[in-house]
Structure 1
Amino acid sequence: MSAGTLPSFDPRDPLGLDDLLDPEDLAVRDTMRQWAADRVLPHVADWFERGEVPGIRELARELGSLGALGMSLTGYGCAGASPIQYGLACLELEAADSGIRSLMSVQGSLSMYAIHRFGSEEQKQQWLPRMASGEVIGCFGLTEPDHGSDPAGMRTYAKRDGSDWVLTGRKMWITNGSVAGVAVVWAHTDEGIRGFVVPTDAPGFSAPDIKHKWSLRASVTSELVLDEVRLPADAVLPEVTGLRGPLSCLGHARYGIIWGSMGAARSAFESALDYAREREQFGRPIGGFQLTQAKLADMALELHKGILLAHHLGRRMEAGRLRPEQVSFGKLNNVREAIEICRTSRTILGANGISLEYPVMRHATNLESVLTYEGTVEMHQLVLGKALTGIDAFR
């Protein structure tokens, strides 16, 4: 091939990664990108500043109409999308805001996934179609005030009372909590850790919002309080006992974070790139100075290596070959690099980098939460350390 027939260099896709996508993948990506541009980007800085998302239930219904809720699941009104398509949707939503991607992820990859994989047929029929449409929002109760990285130490307990279950305990940092119609709650029982499908209108259930957040402000985050919540015998997820249940759900959600974090990074990088071309100092655009170009080059390397890693892990998931350690690899690398891209972008924007007129600082603060939720840096390092050495350093 002669130089004259080479495709032109695209600064926003320098490796030509779009070549990895088929027309259906591109259609999913473009649909989600356009929806985010129309429905999120014009408002998200205001939502972030106010610390609330007006009309979040309507946003959920719109995502449901696009097939984005539980999109990687099959049946029950779910889209049955490929892992790559799900990842692309996460990337495009997080390029708008991590909180909006969290709305979709918790709905589909945690609460719906738990019911789909471990629930009874009756539970699936009762909840999944309405969750897929966005009519019902779900949340996922695992983390507790005193037990985050060590969920085995949870204190929430479910005891039998005749044929019923009675749940008592508290969960913390629960996305979608106060707007959810159903909660998947994990609790100790005499039989081991079990999952329960809890309608949020059950007596004794409450979900007060967590205030004073400086991250994920365009997201609903709540505490779940279970004060002797009485549930029928068939509220328990029948197909799993032990931590394998919640951890498998988290693995599916972490896969979405691998893609989503690159969306936040892309948004910050593109803001810095555009700014460097337009901002003039010393009589020329700052993008013409060597130090700025070095920053842009290094950010482009990490951004597109991260997207390539997400693609690779997506193909492994599609083939049924994606291991939990590989998910940890992706989550650890991509979120860490995304934060660094945001910080470097902020330096290019100078003082403007801290303004909500630009997305950079919003993404940076959001990613501080993404860095530690669904597995802290240290936990993923230890997962990889154990896999590399064969020695368990957790305890």
Structure 2
Amino acid sequence: MKILHIISSGGMYGAEAVILNLSRTLNEGAHSSVLGVFSNSANPNLQLHEAATKEHIESHLIPCKGQIDRTVVASIRSLAVRTSADIVHAHGYKADIYTYIALRRSSIPLVSTCHTWYDSDLFVSLYGMADRMVLRNFAAIVGVSDEVTLRLLKAGVREDKIHLVENGIDLRPFDNATPSLQEGSTSGYSPIVGLIGRLANEKGVDIFLRAAARVLVELPSAKFVVVGEGPDHDKLESLIDELKIRESVLMLGRRDDMPSVYASLDIMVSSSRQEGLPIAILEGMASRRPIIATAVGAVPTVVLDGRTGVLLPPEKIEALASEIANLLRDPARRMSLGTAARKLVEEKFSAERMTADYLQVYEDAISTQDKSTAKSFKDPAPSQGKTK
């Protein structure tokens, strides 16, 4: 089976990691994975394409000028034909909409993964509404958490088309990684607390920084790092100065050595306001890092309070600061939580398990498409509401 993934990438984040992990595992088996990555004129974000090419995963760029570019439709249609795709798998609202327009009259089954939806402003909300309308016509739709699948149901997607597939990761890069952050004080050991994620409101980076300021009052030797890029970069830089914690906080931007970054952390924090199932949390757990996270989305399914990490309600700055300080003072507890976290990821969140689940989704999509096509030949009447 050949799967063509289509994505308009915003950088190397959760969806991109899923595509890479899935592609690696598919290509190591009897199947193959090909990527179609939008090259957006305003903000190309070609990191996924570059990473895939480096790993010898076939990847093609899809030029796109502005929010609406009719040439993208022809490009997707041509790419699906040239790659002899058995399944076209879209990721994200822009990929969903363009892929549907391009292939709605094709016999190729369409699959989409809804990694999460952020209705953070009117523009994104309108795209989200359009996305959910389009998804009703896909052969199969994957939600990465119960919260996302519930929203699909509320959007009118048929229950028999919806599949829950939790994210999985390739564990191998996180085995025996060497720490790469040498930010400790020359006069002694400085513990490092890190947040990995997109610099956007839903990730709660501002909450992390405010908690850091409180921790530093008690533990001034601690260091805090933020890894990621995003629209809130300048706002967060200003907040660091406002809190007067510049000497203790590093904004590291995008990193290409993430296993080594995780290995450098004493604690990993996820202070998100909204989430699906963050790949960063799974990677941190695979690296045996103790996790402190807000109980949003599917996070409580992996961060089991007191067992594989610490769970907190969102927006609780004081509680987050207190938990960070307590955990920094307790290395034995950090080791215990990290060991249990790794074990859980090995058992339930491997790339192999995720790939097996997606292969079942693809089989179901082909079956659904075959039935739909057969019915359309028998009853082509427009009153039946068929779109294919």
Shorter-chain TM-score above 0.5: no
What's the TM-score, normalizing by structure 2? 0.28
TM-score by length of 1: 0.28
